Structure 1
Amino acid sequence: MNNKGMSLVYVWDAYCGWCYGFSDSLKAFHASHPELKLTVLSGGLFIGSKKSSIGSYPHIPEANKRIHKLTGAEFGEKYEKLLEEGSFVLDSEAAARGLSALKYFAPDKAYKLASEMQIKFYVEGKSLSSEKTYLEIARNNSLDADAVINRFNSNISAKDAYNEFEQVQALGINSFPTLLLKKGDELIPLGGGVMTNEKLEIRLNEAM
């Protein structure tokens, strides 16, 4: 398969349960195609008026059950406690700033870092607005933790986050997760959600 000049664009949100469910499929797919650079863009699911407590979204528990049933994704006990208590604030801007800070220092690990963020939240019940979460991820990946935190707290990371939200809007994408194949100037949807690695391979072959 000739993949020269092609790359992948992944549009996600750190607080999107379906993105968490899609993570194993994308990991396997990406591992099979290391020649395809993967760019991760944050979509801004919970910003502005949508930034609110997790209890303000009563559909989430049932959605999680569907995600588990269809993808096998496991939700940790500490996350379940956050969900039950209901006051935890879903803030996609803070999460996008966090990913921006992390991937600035390790752009080649962008998806690995994004995946670790979701494990911190959906398994360990940790906030993606907290410096401590990014300290742990930075240290786990041998990054300069202090530099990551300084960037996370800077206006630069906020600007980066909103630039990504605008890029996603310009692409006309409002459903997460969405995986795209960049082929020259063309962006071809490969899928997302409950798609398996095998189905992604089929879509890639069709796109070729």
Structure 2
Amino acid sequence: MKLVYVFDAYCGWSYGFTPTLAEVTRRHPGVPVEVVSGGLFTGARRVPIRQFGYVGGANAKIADVTGVPFGKGYESLIEDGSFVMDSEAAARGMAALRALAPDRAVDAAEALQRAFYVDGLSLSDPETYRVLAARLDLDPDALVAAFEAPAARTAAAADFRRSRELGVEGFPTLLAVDGDRARVLAVGHADADTIDRHLR
């Protein structure tokens, strides 16, 4: 069995799920975790953040329910309103991080989201991956090259396809996958104790 975590780096509830996922992986160190990027903000949904009028209220609820912090850098992006969230670029970033640190995908996903939700860094900007490389002790040139490589675009498309094949309809979704069988453990929000009960 393995866990499959389907998230979107630009999804606030995925960011809020970070502490739960960290606790689940701490409790089950022998269980592999596959991290898959979803395509929340692609196509017609790739618009300035000001067009999502619910963001401020949603973030307040996420912080209240999960305890995750939203940083000043991120809040400045919300106030300005012109920033465009591009899930395809974020998925390329996740693919690049997975390529360089395949055993640290959960940590990489957390670092990716903190870069946006705390520091207000664009996940479309190659320079962001230099910052992430320093935080994760990776080669910055290699990470930027992986982010910009055609293989990252292919991997992002494969992630979106895998998310659809798993039947994921909301982010984040955590599944237990055993062979051809997939069982949903959590969608949106859950604590580690609840996930443990589902695993049992």
TM-score, with length taken from structure 2: 0.97
2:191 maps to: 196
Instruction: Report matched runs for 1:76-91 at 5 Å.
Output: 76-91=71-86
SS at match of 1:15: coil
Instruction: Report matched runs for 1:18-167 at 5 Å.
Output: 18-167=13-162
Offset, 1:142:
2.2
1:133-169 CA distances to partner (integer Å, 9 max, x unpaired)?
A: 1111112222221111112111111111011101111
Identity %: 43
SS at match of 1:182: strand
1:91-144 CA distances to partner (integer Å, 9 max, x unpaired)?
A: 001110011011101110011001001111101111111111111111222222
2:182 maps to: 187
Cα distance in 1 for residues equivalent to 2:115 and 2:187: 21
1:56-110 CA distances to partner (integer Å, 9 max, x unpaired)?
A: 1111111111111111121111111110110011000111001101110111001
Contact 1:22 1:192 survives alignment (8 Å): no
SS at match of 1:52: coil
SS at match of 2:105: helix
Cα distance in 2 for residues equivalent to 1:202 and 1:187: 16
Cα distance in 2 for residues equivalent to 1:132 and 1:13: 20
Cα distance in 2 for residues equivalent to 1:86 and 1:151: 29
Q: Give unmatched runs, 5+ long, in structure 2.
A: none
List structure 1 segments (4+ residues) > 3 angstroms apart after TM superposition: none
TM-score, with length taken from structure 1: 0.93
